[in-house]
Structure 1
């Protein structure tokens, strides 16, 4: 009996070892195709530190996609009236492009479209230069911003039906993509609270889902003319009420039905920061490629990495490519992130989530999820 038991244990150990070795032999790109990092565009005086971070931190961790939140912090030639403060020059951008090319890191620049046309009481550059594009011009900015408020003001939106809007947007999108030599563009489109407002003379009373979907398609079709992909955040395509996910990471204003109306080659960045909600499955089942996006919750982020691997491994041949990967987000200025990452100065306190636990920091989450990926041995 002992002989049989030893033989059985030996066989099981050998099988387990062989299975682990087989897993380890799989290329990392087949396990997690997109291994991303999302951060603000650096200020020009912080460019050298940003390049060092690319070389010393992103490349060794096998990050292959860099999503840069530029908005109007680039010295546009087509529309100089839209240039924001701390704007990168074309030479600055080419320095970033060169560093990323050295490590085969794909760059995807972002300009926030539709929503996020400003922040709380501050109006963004597009609506500063073209106030006629404002979806809700009757909503006045408060002197001291609080949430919630009677106007439901979080961030302003532009009206996507204004006839003079898209030629301007297309100019700056093309110029930015050309500068970054990018074959993809991220259009934002998250947290859109103002859309198809009843008092808007153009889109008032129309279906928010149709308005949202048409704006996605308009940007998508323009990019497709030059062989570029459109990436967007996924929250407006999730029903916040039926899922219980809520008003921030999902939609309460009926834009979620647009998930069935947008082009199937749009890439969805599905962000969930407090819980590892499994909505990547929803997007994949709708025919869309999806990238799951953690932020500052390492425990949740590691689960999201494991979920993405399991979803790919447990899917049909049709579904598997749609589970596209992981992208760590940061949501603080680049120099603040780098100071926190390297322990320089006094980093901002992480705060607490709803259950009283520490939220953690984006730099620790970045470290933890990529250490976890590395520990898998691929």
Structure 2
């Protein structure tokens, strides 16, 4: 009888470990205006058969905002373009989560982002000038610029954009990015210099979360700043080396965490789930790492308590090339391998 019970338990565990995870997502930049129709067709013919149900769309300033037209990029998406994407996603039951990078990622290499270009007073480190030719590492520790979270005018601007993009995409959630924040609590900042960086980060997350919650929307963020890079040995990219990790105990538990690891299937989803957060594991361009991450999540769900199981939500494929290039990879017009397309096919097929 005992042997029979053990066999049944093994069968139940194996079946649970093979179940499809609830969240099957793609995180990608919004397409350029000229590639909208191709992107819509890609959603219809390629994403829907894979049962993708979540699309994190990095919009940033690639939308014709009416609240702050001064921040609109050249050839930005019109509402008509957005409506095409919304319509096809609605048809296939795909939730769109628009993203604007908040706090960090306000510049890239030699280029300043729109927010700091138009409102330079929001810059956390105005003394750091962008180089003509960017290199890492550098004497300024410059990766990407940040805005000052304590500037009295910054949220009036960014929250207007957040509200507008959420409405434009008829979304129930918003992704604020907030990954790889190296500039925070700068000693030269007259507002936040010398302040606790974990408290600063947590305060910004909470402020964004509260704004969204007041409108019935949910906040999603990347999880790297909430992991201790020193004690885990994960370092400064996939975790924090500037003490923001303690913010994990200071932010609301309904923030959705996108836990990205690209070189190894690090089991940090357990950390977030045990702290009370819903979490998805995010991969990039290594098919084996993606498959290992997926197996790990399935095993965690199979062995978890019912309360913990629901927090392990699923997998998100991240794409850091343009949508056009990604679709070219998907159509095998690119010979570069491995890449995001081959990884996604391995993950969700």
TM-score range, shorter chain: over 0.9
Runs of 4+ in 1 over 6 A off after TM superposition: none
**SS of equivalent residue, structure 1 residue 197:** coil
Structure 2 length-normalised TM: 0.95
Extract unaligned runs of 5+ from structure 2. none
Out of 362, 366, 372, the residue aligned to residue 340 of structure 2 is 362
**1:232 corresponds to 2:254:** no
Number of the residue aligned with 1:123: 112
- CA distance in 2: counterparts of 1:77 and 1:158, whole angstroms: 22
Number of the residue aligned with 2:299: 310
1:39-74 deviations in whole A, cap 9, x for unaligned? 110011111110111011111011100010111100
Q: CA deviation at 1:85?
A: 2.6
Paired positions, count:
344
Number of the residue aligned with 1:274: 263
1:208–1:132 Cα change, 3 Å: same
1:99-145 deviations in whole A, cap 9, x for unaligned? 00000000000000000001022100000010000000000111111
**SS of equivalent residue, structure 2 residue 159:** helix
Larger-gyration structure (1/2): 1
Q: CA deviation at 1:316?
A: 1.0
Alpha-carbon RMSD across the aligned residues, in angstroms, is: 1.9
| Conserved 8 A contact 2:35-2:324 | yes
Number of the residue aligned with 1:5: none
**Between 246-255 and 84-93, the greater mean CA deviation after superposition:** 84-93
Out of 174, 179, 182, the residue aligned to residue 163 of structure 2 is 174
1:22–1:326 Cα change, 3 Å: closer
**SS of equivalent residue, structure 2 residue 324:** helix
**SS of equivalent residue, structure 1 residue 318:** helix
Q: CA deviation at 1:313?
A: 1.2
Number of the residue aligned with 1:23: 15
Number of the residue aligned with 2:94: 105
**SS of equivalent residue, structure 1 residue 66:** strand
1:287-366 pair list within 5 angstroms: 287-344=276-333, 346=334, 349-350=336-337, 360-366=338-344
Structure 1 length-normalised TM: 0.88
Number of the residue aligned with 1:217: 206
